[in-house]
Amino acid sequence: MTNWNTGSISTHVGTLIGWGNVGAISGTTLNNIVLQEVNFANTFTNDNIDSTNIQDKYQPSIIGLVQAQVLIGIQAQLGGITEASLGGLTINQRANAGGNIDLATKLRDDAIAKLKELGRYVRFRRVIAGV
């Protein structure tokens, strides 16, 4: 793999889930989700992951985290109102999206396990106490 940016990860996740399934999640929103998950990975690993040059060792975890958030977003869209009517127009959103939460949980757990495998970068400072 090569180093990716947030747009590359957004495109990859959209392709994995299927752009038709992403629903009302726009490209900008998807990119913002990627940025949030890059920040999460930064905090979790205590490392400095550049969102414009994401190293390949972080990509599987960030992809999994983003997939989980997108699936939760899809569930939120489909889980509330299942039918809406306006005059003679009726829109049905019938889907068995309950499995999305289980899958999202599995993806998130897997991504965090991958981040744990990378370890955490720890910085130490030497403090010299005065007399």
Burial per residue of 94-123, b for 16 or more beta-carbon CB atoms within 10 angstroms, e otherwise: eeebeebbebbeebbebbbebbeeeeeeee
Average pLDDT over residues 22-29: 78
Q: Are 41 and 49 a contacting pair, CB within 8 Å?
A: yes
Residue 128's pLDDT is: 79
- Could you tell me whether strands 83-86 and 89-92 are parallel, antiparallel, or unpaired per DSSP bridges? antiparallel
Q: Are 8 and 66 a contacting pair, CB within 8 Å?
A: no
Residue 126's pLDDT is: 75
Residue 9's pLDDT is: 94
pLDDT single digits (tens) 33-92 = 999 999 999 999 988 999 999 999 999 999 999 998 888 887 777 664 455 455 555 555
At residue 107's C-alpha, the angle toward residues 54 and 23, to 5°, is 85
| Alpha-carbon 107 to chain mean position | 9
pLDDT single digits (tens) 91-122 = 555 555 455 667 788 888 888 889 888 877 66
pLDDT at 26 over 60: yes
Which tokens sit at 129?
Answer: 């106490």
Domain ranges of the chain: 6-118
Residue 50's pLDDT is: 93
